[in-house]
Amino acid sequence: MKGLGTKLASYTWKASRQAYPKPAGSWGTGRAANELVEGYPFDWYACSEEGEEIMRYWVAPKPMEEDNSLECPAEVWEAFKQWPSKYTLIWKRSRKVFALSAEELMGRLQNKAVEVFPAAYRLRLKGLAGE
């Protein structure tokens, strides 16, 4: 998310903490409330004051295309579908940053306001010489 600028909504990058603590959040020790922390493949996650993970964020690596499309890895899409209350999609378009919860995304999918297209396939060739 650092690549999206130094400010995301009400979060501001704090280099000494390597996190985006929310101004109203508790600093505490370890992971503070309202703090975004790095993690893979979901770029960031927010924790409660007790340190419990409450939301994971996936940041699209490329800005949204002119046709309103984004490429999303299969494992991210499957997580959105399986646990929509735990994930949020973040993307950039025209120098602005947008967020959409996976719950909203799945609702839009049901209402046919989102279309999903396979972007890549894994091919396994059998019966080749040398196997």
> Which tens digits make up the pLDDT trace of 12-60?
566 666 565 555 443 322 333 344 445 567 767 787 777 778 888 888 8
State the pTM of this model.
Answer: 0.65
Which residues neighbour 48 within 8 Å (Cβ) at sequence distance 6 or greater? 33, 54
When pLDDT is cut at 50, 70 and 90, the band that residue 63 belongs to is confident
- d(CA 79, CA 17) in angstroms, rounded, equals 28
Cα distance between residue 102 and residue 109, in whole Å: 10
The pLDDT mean for the chain works out to 74
Residue 1's pLDDT is 37
At residue 94, what is the residue type?
Answer: S
Tokens of 37: 């922390």
* Token pair belonging to 116: 């999903």
